[in-house]
Amino acid sequence: MNDMQKIEASASSHQPWWRGAVIYQIYPRSFADSNGDGVGDLPGITNRLDYVASLGVDAIWLSPFFTSPMRDFGYDVADYCGVDPIFGTLTDLDVLIEKAHDLGLKVIIDQVYSHTSDQHAWFAESRSSRDNPKSDWYVWADPKADGSPPNNWQSVFGGPAWTWDARRGQYYMHNFLREQPQLNVHNPEVQEALLGVAKFWLDRGVDGFRVDAINFAMHDLELRDNPPAPDGNGPRTRPFDFQLKVHNQSHPDIPKFVERIRALTDQYPDRFTVAEVGGADPDREMKAFTEGENHFNSAYGFDFLYADKLTPALIRDALESWPTEEGIGWPSWAFSNHDAPRWISRWAPKGQEDAFARMALLLLACLRGNIILWQGEELGLTQVEIPFEKLQDPEATANWPLTLSRDGTRTPMPWVAQDEQGGFSTVEPWLPLGESNLACAVDRQEKDADSLLNLTRKLITLRNTYPALRNGGCDVVLADANCIVFERTADGERLTGIFNLSGDDIGWPEPVGQDGIEIESVNRAAIGRLPPFGAILIKRGLQ
């Protein structure tokens, strides 16, 4: 055993609960409706927690349930410390947390620190005058001499990142919807208020935070124009895509605020923080937000979320971007989420969805880092085509038909195959379930020992059984046109994962011997044999 393997083996037995955890993301609107209004809610989640626990996951991540006018479905927060009535009450949340803890599940919630709703009391006060106590809690700026916005910044959802407000005779900034004014997180009072929000939820028993869009939290105080993006810098479906976002996000002072968040969470035992970091330079920022012991515990990688194809090179680059080195942070991986299209629809060849899904789920279970399972992935749910007249997503309606609707991944969970509403609700849900997804319902898969649902349970058990998978090191052995091979090592064990990402039979990879013991395989793979989308995990001794 070499020195690095000795370090991995020693460390793996003394890891916090979240290191290598499997986290199940729940979108409250679409998980389970307990009161028959067509919208999911907190009691509905509580009623289904036994199912979640049966998967073997370590934690749930709840997307926003806070008081909100729902212009961006909860990411426009009107009261950080309140539960929106559509989801229930604070008492309902307390009951959910208690039951989750009784089942051995940690509870992680979203925190949105870069902006609020324009209905938030802070913004109402801030916009009332230029000299009120919260006048500098948001980003305000005078117009140019011709009355136009202060600079050229564009919003994610389309159009300028500035909206005129006659009350103050100034523009306010918004990186997203005009109903989501940008907080001035440079202001120490704003930071204190946000830390107070975090403390409120920590005191209430939550086990950690997924911090939304943290790289948008601070802006360039000089309000300099963004430079144009060069040709070939990706698709352009919005004005936002025509710029390099060097001044309206990714400010170098953000890590200092992250340190304050970490200092607070460290006052509570076993808490976990993970940053969402998107944009043009996520790797650098994720490292800055997670380095050492005084920043976030992990960062949420976007490597797979919008990739139109799953390739060996993509997997290799993602894994190698987080080496086993002192001071390097710990990654979290997801293949889909509430914003990103479902991966089966993006990656799987038509007619081969089941085989592809089995290979991809084994791959996900073997990745180094935390893995985040988006609700319904364990069922093989696909992206639903939502007709324009039923779209709810403000980004999709603003940029239709060039922007893929996020609604297609947010469709309700199908619990009962023979029920018109899928057992999600007693009335028509807020979004259609989709016929193909209804056929994947939980009750149908529970009865099938070979279902994707039961394979998911098996793979999560596998990950939790082997320290090398849970928190060991990772070395990529091969990544060619069709196949990726990597090794996970810890605690005296070496596991080799071999994945055929193609729809063809391929030869056994030359760098890999045919020794060892098969731990798991899918799609008829075996030692020495890799059928289409075949994948195998082999246990071998450390050298």
Q: Judge contact between 110 and 77, C-beta under 8 A.
A: no
CA 285 to chain centre: 16
Q: What angle do CA 463, 273, 195 make, to 5 degrees?
A: 165
Task: Tell me if residue 428 is catalytic.
Answer: no
What kind and span of H or E run contains 274?
A: strand 272-276
Q: Phi/psi of residue 371, each to 5°?
A: -120, 140
Considering 84, 92, 179, 276, which one is annotated as catalytic?
Answer: 276
Q: What angle do CA 495, 497, 499 make, to 5 degrees?
A: 175
Q: Distance between CA atoms of 526 and 529, rounded to whole angstroms?
A: 5
Residue 18 token pair:
């979240």
Considering 76, 212, 378, 407, which one is annotated as catalytic?
Answer: 212
Q: Judge contact between 440 and 414, C-beta under 8 A.
A: yes
Reduce the DSSP state of residue 188 to 3 states and report it: helix
Reduce the DSSP state of residue 362 to 3 states and report it: helix
Instruction: Single out the residue of 197, 199, 332 nearest to residue 268, CA to CA.
Output: 199
Task: Tell me if residue 37 is catalytic.
Answer: no
Q: Phi/psi of residue 118, each to 5°?
A: -70, -5
Instruction: Single out the residue of 4, 525, 175 nearest to residue 12, CA to CA.
Output: 4
Tokens 């040709």 locate to: 231
Catalytic residues: 212, 276
